[in-house]
Amino acid sequence: MKIHSLFAASLCILSSVSVQAAIQLTVPGDVELLLVDNQEVKLESSFFSTSSTLELENGQHQIAFRYNPVFKQGKDNIIVSSDIIVSKFSASDTNVTFKFPTYNSPEKAKAFNTELNWNLIDKNEKTIPFTQAQLIHHGVQVGRNIQFELAQFNTTSNPAAFKEGMVTVTHKEIKNEQGENTAEQMLHYWYEKADKETKDRFISSVLENK
């Protein structure tokens, strides 16, 4: 009987350790989590909860996200989207949550892009150290390949760049081999996507400006 009780107690201890031996990242509804360690992720959520969770291995991680606070103005919902934020942090055996300032208007929320005054906190409400940067893309925002951009960012010396265990990610539809001209690649990419009329106008424009 004592042996059985001891075995049961040991099993409970091992179970509790295995449950806690990971990071539980809680993602609120106003955070659009784009990538974790430069990979797309699937969040777990409850029907009755406004937040989602993601389990990560203990250690260092990089997250890329947008902060999208929503404001009610009359019958309309106004969403203020931040630039893409890249952040690198380390944690072990804890719950990690985002903490953002409180804004009472869309106009004031726009200041977030310059202030970047947010935090990651653990289960004891202590701030987790992290580095951060903004993934700025000048030009058309629609159709951005965030994985490709972040892979390029991770080759820099920026403190938020993720080197450890980094997975090499290439553009899903455009090869980006060393020595190739990225602008030329994008030109070919959009040309192939265009219809015949657009291609003809483009060729005419090139010939006129030759």
On whether residue 46 sits in a domain, the answer given is yes
State how beta strands 51-56 and 76-79 pair. unpaired
pLDDT digits (tens, 9 = 90+) for 28-80: 989 999 999 999 888 776 555 678 899 999 999 999 999 999 998 888 889 99
**pLDDT category of residue 196 using cuts at 50, 70 and 90:** confident
User: Is 13 part of a structural domain of the chain?
Assistant: no
Q: If you search the block for the tokens 């265009």, which residue do you land on?
A: 194
Same domain for 166 and 184? no
**Domain residues for 154?**
22-172
Residues 131 and 197 in one domain: no
53, 55, 45, 60: which is closest to 18 by C-alpha? 55
If asked whether residues 81 and 103 sit together in one domain, one would say yes
End-to-end CA distance of the chain: 91
136 in a structural domain: yes
In a domain, 12, yes or no: no
Is residue 75 domain-shared with residue 55, that is, in the same domain? yes
Same domain, 103 and 190: no
Q: Which two tokens stand for residue 83?
A: 């630039």
Do the domain assignments include residue 140?
A: yes
Please give the model's pTM, rounded to 2 decimal places.
0.68
Contacts of 5 (CB under 8 A, 6+ apart): none
- Residue with the bigger pLDDT between 160 and 73: it is 160
Tokens of 181: 């001209």
The CA distance from 29 to 52, in Å, is: 7
Q: Looking at the domain assignment, is residue 139 inside a domain?
A: yes
Is 184 within the bounds of a domain? yes
Same domain, 166 and 188: no
Looking at every residue in the chain, the average pLDDT score rounds to 79
pLDDT band per the 50, 70, 90 thresholds, residue 138: confident
For the segment 78-120, what is each residue's pLDDT rounded down to a tens digit?
999 999 999 999 999 999 999 999 999 999 999 999 999 999 9
What's the number of domains the chain is made of? Answer: 2
Q: Is the pLDDT of residue 177 over 60?
A: no
Residue 31, SS3 per DSSP: strand
- 109 in the same domain as 57: yes
Q: Is 70 exceeded by the pLDDT of residue 2?
A: no
